[in-house]
Structures are given as C-alpha cells and as structure tokens.
C-alpha cells in the first residue's frame, strides 16, 4: 500500500444519504460521505503549473476553503507524489505541456503509473484541467490521465473533471466548474452546505504615512539588463518592434541552448494610471490590505503599501473580464441604462462577442460604465496575480555562460476593446528596460528534445517565423563556437519567415557570417515581398524539399518554433506531404509515419509560443 494515511480520524461511512443530496455523484462516491463533523475537514489542493494559471485557480480554492469548513493544504503535485491523504478530499488542478506534465507534476504522474487497482481506495478526489485546444491531439492530456489513473487505483471521484481552454473562455469555464464545487464537496463529505463565498475577503484601509515596497519573487532571482536594442527598421510602415535583450544572470543560474527564461513583468504605466484615476488615488497613495487568509493571498498584506506599486507589480490589469465579473459589475451599476447594457454582456453570445473576443478587461468596463460602484478591495480580488511569461533564450552558454539573450516581439497595437493602446505586459515591460535595470527571472528547462543534438555532426533542420528564430540563434551560436574550437559540424538548414528583407530579417548580418563559415544555410521567406511563389516559411520548405529529404535521410533533427496557430500546423502538414511524395506513400501512411517520428524518436519537435 503506497498511500500514507494522515491523521487518526476514523474513516466512517455516512449511514443515511438522501437521494437528493447525492444527485450529482455516483453511488460509489456517495459512500465516501463522512459522518457529519463539527470539526474542520482536511482538503488537499494540488496543482501542476508552469506559468501560474492552474496555480492561481488552486490558490483561489484554497483561499475560500476555510470559510467552507476545511483545513486546507496547498502544494504542487510533486510534493504529494506517493502520499495522497485518505482524510477529507483532494482537488487537483493541472495543465499539460505537449501532452506531458508541467515541471512540478512529473513525479506525481510517474507515481500514478505505478499504482495497482485498489491502492487509492480511500482517497476522494476531483480534477480540473487547464489546457488549450490548439494542442488538439493532447488537449487536457494530463488532467485526463490523472483523473482516470486515480479512478483506476480505486480513488473515489467526488466531482466530474472540469476543463478550461486557454483559446476560449478560460476563466469563465473555471467559474462554471467552481460554482457548484463547495456544495458538491459538502454533500459528498457529509458536511453542511454553506453559502458560496462572496469573494470579499479583503478590507482596504487607506493610510496617510509609511510606505514599504514588497517584491514577491517566488523562486525568481534578479538579473540585470546589459543591452536592449531594436532589431527591426522602425522607419518602415511594416515595422513591428522586436528587441534583442542581453541579460546578466544571477550567480549560479545556468542554462542550455533551447531553454526558456521566465520573466516576472509589471503592468504598463498607462494601465496603472487608468486604474489610479478610476479609483481616485494619487500616484503616491498608500493602503493597508488585510486578508482573512493572508498566507494564501498574492498581495502584500498587513502593512502600508503604495497603490501604484500594487497596481504595477501584483495584479494583471489587462486580462479579459469573466462572465461572473461582468455580472458583478452589472449588479453594482447604479445607472439603469448602464446596468441594462452590462446585463446584455452576460449571456453567452453577448459575452463571447463583446467581452471575450475583444479582450475587454474589468478596468475597461469600469471606465466605460462610470456608475459601477466597485470598491478597490473588490477590484483587487477580481484580478489574477501577475504571471511570469516565458521567452526562449536566444543564446548559447558556449558563447557566455553568465549571460543570456532574449529576442522579444513587442505586443503593442490599438486595443481590440477600442479603449486606447494594448500593451502586452511582459513584452512592453522588457522593451523599456534600460541597461542596468533589474529583472526578476528564472531559467526553465524546455522539452527534453528541444536542444541541439548532442553531436555537433548531427544535421539540423530549423523552421521558424519572426521571434520563433530565438532558440535557433542559440543553436547556431553554439555550433559557431564549436566550429571555432575546431569541431566538425553537420549541415544545418534554417527556414525563416519574415515580413520583408529590409525590415525584419532579424540578425541578418550575424546569420550571413555563420552562413559564410559553413555553420548554416539560411532559407528565408518574406510574406510582404514574396519571391517565386514563396510567401510563408512552409512554401519555402516545400520549394527546397529535395534538400530537406536529403538532410533528413542523413539523420537530421527537425525543430519548429514560433506561432502555434497557423505556422506550426502548416509546417507539420508540409512535412507530411514531403514524405508522401518522397516515399510514394499515401497521405494516411505519411501521417502515421509522421506521428511515429514525433512520438517515438524525438526527431521532430515543435516548441510553439501560444
């Protein structure tokens, strides 16, 4: 038996369970109902999360749990590998990455694979998955895997698995799943059903003096910017800013070519100013936040803090409002026409078209509907904590192991909400970091196969568009250093999609130098200056397919990086067609061959940005 039982409370079955009370649950689940206890019930909330979404949902549940009569433990899945509690319930919130577990859930998933039927017969659980349908074949792979593995090991499912799709109404899907959670848990565990949490856990007191600044960094450390320069000809009407940023890493932090740098950003000044104005604060106003669950909130509590500091560093100001939030604003609107208009945004169609698609934020709505009476505490509670963003490192440690570079596309354009300019949080923050600026960051490992092959003699085929070039600059820099050290290199092809040769052919001179040194053969495609029918990178791939086939036959590893919406699927489809033609296979055979290459050999690996 691999389950460690925690605590001594007897695990008794509830003797009478009404049909009504057990309606959402299976008969089996109903059997786990405990004797109603006045005491608090243990609740384990575990998350698997790389970029913080599943973690934020887990925190939300953990924050509300005490008011529902639970003693809560919040932890990563890996911290509980091999030791799920048989007392109370376990809720699991997790993402998937290329069908694999997030970094802090690997051991847990491995452990589940070792379990036999019946091993977890006294564990009660519920699973919620964060995923993205753009990864069609592995959508929700890990939540599904955990959910069925727990069931197979005999654990009792207290609630049907829920799922949120980051390419759709992500937060709304969580709200929907969360809405009935406490009632279902209470019924299953034989507890009293309590009022759903109102969400008002915070009290904000405005203070006139004293100020302390808190920087919440988790495992992130401070690096410093060495250089920050523009890579694009910003004089062109086609220009979209892309920055080359060199960073000195904190002592002891190391990386491999292909890894990511996680960066904790801050909000853009424009949005902070808008929020200050809406809540009638001056830039130097300070508040003290008090929270019923100060351990779990992501805000600095119990001491004076600058409002501007709070708005810059702790909450995301530009996330689209959820339906529940729109409903809350509608309820708070004092002016009847505004209330009616807000109510029109709550139904499925109104919300999808007029809030979610144009990414209208709570702040946008508060500005647009001046009669909404939302307090600052409630506003803070509605906003998710600031999330670190990942950037592919665009250098190699063989160039400099104490420094790395990023290649960042700056998200800045007229806001789809129609309210001012949209500034991407992290990219606009990085874009304005002057040399010397300190940045909270950490290296995160990439997919096992997304590194240059161990042997420099192994050929590489790299396919990318725009800043998808970032990791490949690192790969090629590594090979250039190896060549300079006298090592022989295998051939490499770089297929690179840009807008225009004179505008955004990133690192053009450097690539030309490496090409002259025999490190790489560069095959660009310019969508705003097409040549010979080549518009996008997949067209160039098809045009040069003879070289691709030859290099693949020599054992090349294929890497794809950048846009996951259109480029990566189009490139994949082109590779399937190339094989179909070269091998004389049917398209179905070519697809099967390709899936096997992806799954079993690691010789085709895509690392996409969204």
Ligand X SMILES: Cc1cc2nc3c(=O)[nH]c(=O)nc-3n(C[C@H](O)[C@H](O)[C@H](O)COP(=O)(O)O)c2cc1C
Ligand Y SMILES: Cc1cc2nc3c(=O)[nH]c(=O)nc-3n(C[C@H](O)[C@H](O)[C@H](O)COP(=O)(O)OP(=O)(O)OC[C@H]3O[C@@H](n4cnc5c(N)ncnc54)[C@H](O)[C@@H]3O)c2cc1C
Least distance between ligand X and beta carbon 169 (Å)? 13
- Span of 189-197, 401-409, 481-489, 571-579 interacting with ligand Y by CB under 6 A: 401-409
Q: Give yes or no for residue 392 binding ligand X (CB under 6 A).
A: no
Q: Does 467 bind ligand X (CB under 6 A)?
A: no
Residue 264: which residues within 8 A CB-CB, separation 6 or more? 217, 218, 220, 386, 388, 439, 440, 441
Measured from each CB, the residue nearest to ligand X is 131
Does 141 sit near ligand X (CB under 6 A)?
Answer: yes
CA distance 575 to 461: 11
Q: Choose the stretch contacting ligand Y; rule: CB under 6 A; options: 31-39, 168-176, 385-393, 534-542.
A: 385-393
Per-residue tokens: 151: 């069931």
Q: Where does 119-208 show beta strands of DSSP type E?
A: 124-131, 156-157, 162-165, 202-207
> Of the candidates 120, 130, 289, 541, which one interacts with ligand X according to CB under 6 A?
130
Pick what 407 binds: ligand Y, ligand X, none; C-beta below 5 to 8 Å, kind-dependent.
ligand Y
Quickly list H helices, 352-507: 362-368, 376-382, 425-431, 470-484
Is residue 392 a contact point for ligand Y (CB under 6 A)?
yes
Of 49 and 492, which CB lies nearer to ligand X in the complex structure? 49
Q: Is position 140 an interface residue for ligand X (rule: CB under 6 A)?
A: yes
Asked if 405 touches ligand Y (CB under 6 A), the answer is no
Dihedral pair phi/psi, residue 70, rounded to 5°:
-120, 145
Nearer to ligand X, 88 or 143 (CB): 143
Lookup result for tokens 């339906």:
323
Q: Classify burial at 369, counting beta carbons within 10 Å of its beta carbon; exposed 0-12, middle 13-18, buried 19 or more.
A: buried
Are residues 364 and 328 in contact, defined by beta-carbon separation less than 8 angstroms? no
Which residues have C-beta within 8 Å of that of residue 280, sequence separation ≥ 6?
A: none
Site for ligand Y in 407-436 (CB under 6 A): 407-409, 411, 413-416, 422, 424-427
Give 271's contacts (C-beta < 8 A, 6+ positions apart): 311, 317, 318, 363, 423
- Pick from 6, 278, 359, 403: which binds ligand Y (CB under 6 A)? 359
**Least separation, in Å, of the C-beta of 462 and ligand X?**
17
Residue 49 or residue 395: which is nearer to ligand X going by CB? 49
Which of 278, 284, 294 is CA-nearest to residue 365?
Answer: 278
Stretch binding ligand Y (CB under 6 A), from 176-184, 209-217, 248-256, 405-413: 405-413
Interface with ligand X, residue 428, by CB under 6 A = no
Stretch that binds ligand X, among 135-143, 270-278, 516-524, 542-550 (CB under 6 A): 135-143
- 390 contacts ligand Y (rule: CB under 6 A): yes
Show Cβ contacts of residue 71 under 8 Å, excluding neighbours closer than 6 positions: 40, 41, 42, 43, 88
> Which residue of the chain is nearest ligand Y when measured via CB?
424
Restricting to residues 510-549, name those near ligand X by CB under 6 A.
none
Distances in Å between the Cα of 34 and the Cα atoms of 22, 39, 258, 373, 453 are 13, 12, 50, 42, 55
Residue 240 touches ligand Y, criterion: CB under 6 A:
no
Half-sphere CA count of 174, side-chain side, radius 13 A? 25
Provide the binding-site residues for ligand Y, judged by CB under 6 A.
260, 265, 318, 359, 389-392, 407-409, 411, 413-416, 422, 424-427, 467, 470, 609
């Amino acid at each position: 038996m691999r389950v460690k039982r925690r605590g001594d409370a007897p695990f008794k079955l509830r003797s009478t369970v009404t049909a009504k009370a057990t309606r959402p649950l299976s008969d089996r689940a109903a059997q786990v109902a405990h004797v109603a206890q006045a005491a608090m019930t243990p609740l384990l909330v575990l998350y698997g999360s790389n970029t913080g979404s599943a973690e934020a949902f887990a925190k939300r549940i953990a924050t509300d749990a005490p008011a529902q009569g639970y003693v809560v433990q919040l932890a990563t899945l890996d911290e509980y590998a091999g030791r799920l509690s048989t007392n109370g319930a376990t809720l699991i919130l997790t993402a998937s990455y290329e069908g694999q577990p997030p970094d802090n859930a690997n051991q847990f998933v491995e452990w589940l694979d070792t379990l036999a039927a019946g091993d977890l017969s006294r564990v009660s659980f519920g699973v919620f998955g964060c995923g993205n349908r753009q990864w069609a074949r592995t959508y929700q792979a890990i939540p599904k895997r955990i959910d069925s593995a727990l069931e197979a090991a005999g654990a009792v499912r207290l609630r049907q698995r829920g799922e949120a799709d980051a390419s759709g109404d992500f937060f709304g899907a969580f709200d929907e799943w969360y809405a009935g959670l406490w009632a279902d848990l209470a019924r299953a565990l034989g507890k009293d059903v309590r009022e759903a949490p109102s969400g008002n856990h915070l009290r904000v007191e405005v203070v006139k003096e004293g100020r302390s600044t808190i920087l919440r960094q988790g495992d992130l450390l401070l690096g410093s910017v060495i250089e920050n320069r523009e890579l694009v000809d910003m004089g062109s009407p086609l220009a979209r800013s892309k920055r080359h940023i060199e960073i000195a890493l904190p002592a002891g932090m190391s990386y491999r070519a292909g890894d990511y740098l996680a960066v904790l950003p801050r909000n853009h000044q424009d949005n902070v100013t808008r929020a200050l104005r809406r809540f009638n604060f001056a830039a130097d106003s300070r508040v003290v936040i008090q929270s019923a669950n100060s351990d779990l909130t992501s805000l600095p509590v119990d001491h004076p803090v600058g409002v501007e500091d709070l708005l810059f560093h702790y909450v995301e100001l530009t996330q689209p409002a959820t339906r529940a939030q729109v409903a809350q604003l509608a309820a708070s609107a004092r002016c009847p026409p505004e209330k009616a208009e807000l109510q029109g945004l709550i139904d499925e169609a109104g919300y999808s078209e007029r809030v979610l698609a144009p990414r209208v934020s709570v702040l946008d709505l508060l500005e647009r509907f001046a009669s909404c009476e939302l307090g600052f505490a409630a506003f803070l509670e509605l906003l998710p904590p600031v999330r670190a963003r990942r950037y592919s490192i665009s250098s190699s440690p063989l160039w400099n192991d104490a420094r790395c570079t990023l290649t960042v596309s700056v998200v800045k354009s007229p806001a789809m909400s129609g309210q001012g300019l949209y500034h991407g949080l992290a990219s606009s923050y990085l874009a304005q970091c002057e040399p010397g600026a300190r940045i909270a960051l950490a290296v995160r490992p990439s997919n096992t196969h997304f590194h240059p092959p161990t042997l420099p003699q192994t050929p590489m085929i790299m396919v990318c568009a725009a800043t998808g070039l970032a990791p490949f600059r690192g790969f090629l820099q590594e090979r250039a250093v190896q060549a300079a050290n006298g090592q022989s290199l295998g051939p490499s092809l770089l297929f690179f999609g840009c807008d225009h040769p004179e505008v955004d052919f990133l690192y053009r001179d450097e690539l030309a130098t490496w090409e002259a040194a025999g490190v790489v053969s560069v095959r660009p495609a310019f969508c705003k200056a097409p040549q010979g029918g080549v518009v996008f990178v997949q067209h160039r791939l098809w045009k040069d397919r003879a070289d691709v086939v030859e290099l693949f036959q020599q054992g090349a590893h294929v890497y794809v990086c950048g846009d996951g919406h259109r480029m990566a699927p189009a490139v994949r489809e082109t590779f399937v067609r190339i094989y179909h033609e070269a091998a004389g296979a049917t398209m179905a055979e070519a697809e099967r061959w390709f899936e096997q290459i992806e799954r079993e050999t690691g010789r085709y690996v895509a690392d996409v940005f969204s």
